[in-house]
Structure 1
């Protein structure tokens, strides 16, 4: 059954035939091009320190994606002049196909670049767009979003402590950040950094600023790459960064001082939909594996297929209900 046919009827009625066709093209590209290329990607990635490289197979997939028109689909119609001709609802439906797997980033629709591009497209100056937005949209570089800190509960962004202090026509950055996803990629040229320019402001939501930082700026050190459950996620990676008197031009501030929290909300909003729909796609994939295992002829405990067991059917039914409910909740939020 094609992906477009699995869309709930009330939602399917809100999108055009062109969008339904594109969703099926996305699914076909992922299944027929990206997934089969996984073994090649793994071999090209190599081992040890060599894993922090960019596998050439990605360039081949990017060319194919561009030829199919599957490129930068995430910038919402009506909100960004650089955007594709899709709404958040339409792109959210496509996001189900971009679940886990590095090769599915071949369409230039992957985090953290998506949110960073939205920041630049929505808030950036012409000069900032020329320097950073254009190469990001072209897939020439990558970026990361630098917020999380070591010693504070930085899921509440008002707690961040990295100092952004004015010094002449520049800012000096001092502090540490960690779990910075994407910083290990050799193509990561831009850090979008959240810190405090006015820590004593009585309004805790106006203490922060966001600044564009070239990743090769003097004073910035990649202290180490972190791992989760034993995986370092190379070549994407999650870095521990230190900033020691890193001098960044005044022109790199986004929107001006003390507007970082505002910019951050603009960054996070669309991404919440994108991430949720990708997670639902991952759940669909997991359910398909459950079907496969439950009906595996070569694995019959006690001489019976697992699908003949009532409790297994109950698990499958419950999973189907939960996935459908989650999808409708997210799509309702988009609408």
Structure 2
């Protein structure tokens, strides 16, 4: 199989040939048709995460090995089935969305369809080759979801961008529809979060971003209010959020995950409020410990989502309730260019690598 792979962290992606896997047991081999380009791919490409305070976590520390074909937002056609996968009802030629956040497959979390909480992760596009390639190997049929009637380019984004925000939103629900929910970040995650909130019937969606173009995109997607996130201090941003919302807020979801965004988000909370941290930009968030219990605040991380949540999200989309986000398609050979555009903040919505017979 062919792939655009990370050969050396921080260096341009390189086209390489890899052995095409032969599925065993319950494994399923797919021919990739679409693969989203996600901001977390930039961290894998760079090879580290900024942990704040001058500390970094390297991908080598996490067990990621090179060369690696990244890509975890994958749609493909079934090409081959392992001997034990045939009983699943899958057929060669079926188009399926891949749940990429797979684990060991045997622990209690994996068997409960909560693979993303497995202590031995094997995520596709992170620990094993993903969708920046012509083929991808999926561990079990349960990680494949039918997307009949959906645009496969858009559906690909649901495996990470859509699932990640859906899972984060579930962590602050239920809330009254008119209660403001604040989203920091109007990239692919932010626009999918607006779409999910609208699909769930939420009425008040406030979006914070430093880029005027992305704030305009958020309004076009259905945000009720936008806030300029560019300021001298996080407290200034928090004051703008509080003014836009008519007071401190019950729920903030930080899709950026930078030190300044997290500080502004935390400072925006009302008593009993919750901050859900999603983004991986980097940095740290110092917490005033007496304030946490006296104001009954919650700060919680949300890591992607599980396959049960992805099935729920796809059901929403199939029901016609999930508005589309802007999608631009590019051939696999332009994966490196797509990553550079994403790093430079030039992408509105999502770039999806599409085969179109050219992978």
Q: TM-score with structure 1 length normalisation? A: 0.27
Higher helix share: 1
Higher strand share: 2
Q: TM-score with structure 2 length normalisation? A: 0.25
Whose relative contact order is higher, 1 or 2, with alpha carbons under 8 Å and at least 6 apart?
2
> Whose Rg is larger?
1
